[in-house]
Amino acid sequence: MDLKRPTKDIVLTQVTLENLEDLIKISRITFSDTFGAQNSKSNLEEYLREAYSSQQLTREINGSETRFAFAYYKTELAGYLKLNVGHAQSELKEDEGLEVERIYIKSAFKRLGIGRALINYAFDQAKALSKEYIWLGVWEYNSAALAFYKKLGFLAFSDHRFNLGGDLQRDILMKKTLDIKP
């Protein structure tokens, strides 16, 4: 897979099983940074153990309908992205769509264009796969992410409830239709 070089400071690379330990670490760090303050320690730890175990992430990396990319800022691992198509999608599972299941960036690297580089990569992948739209879920209390996606033209179309530990939470589902020209 050829990943574009968005800027001289941001480099995207494909995640493979060789990167499993780095994926586990960055997944746990970024998820905790994003959701830790609003959730109990026990609920957070339970979620991290299940969602980001080596077994779970190995299954995801090996999935034919899932793709991960790391974002490096200069030489440091700064964030990552997870894309799903087909039956790997968490909700819609429609052939016309591509799901951005995760975009997470370490706190120290926010507002440097990394989120934009990752979402542009998702747009490129969707177009290369002839998808009609991209969709994603955003936690209802993540106002920065909601504003970012709205600015890019994503529109809310539904919601999704999920358990984080024992706490029922809500994601806003958002979609952007792509302009695909033959």
Dihedral class, residue 181 (left if φ above 0, else alpha if ψ from -120 to 50, else beta) = beta
Q: Which amino acid is at 128?
A: A
pTM beyond 0.75, yes or no: yes
**Residues of the chain above pLDDT 90, percent:** 79
Is pLDDT above 50 for 2?
Answer: no
Which amino acid, one-letter code, is at 77? L
**CATH entry, 10-177, from 3.40.630.30, 3.90.850.10, 3.40.50.150, 3.40.50.410:** 3.40.630.30
160: Cα separation from own chain's centroid: 16
Q: Are 135 and 127 in contact (CB under 8 A)?
A: no
Q: What is the pLDDT of residue 84?
A: 97
Measured CA distances, 3 to 40, 71, 182 (Å): 37, 10, 22
Please identify which of the residues 47, 52, 133, 149 carries the catalytic annotation. Answer: 149
pLDDT, one tens digit per residue, over 83-124 is 999 999 998 889 999 999 999 999 999 999 999 999 999 999
Q: Are 140 and 170 in contact (CB under 8 A)?
A: yes
Position 51 scores a pLDDT of: 92
Assess whether 104 carries a catalytic annotation: no
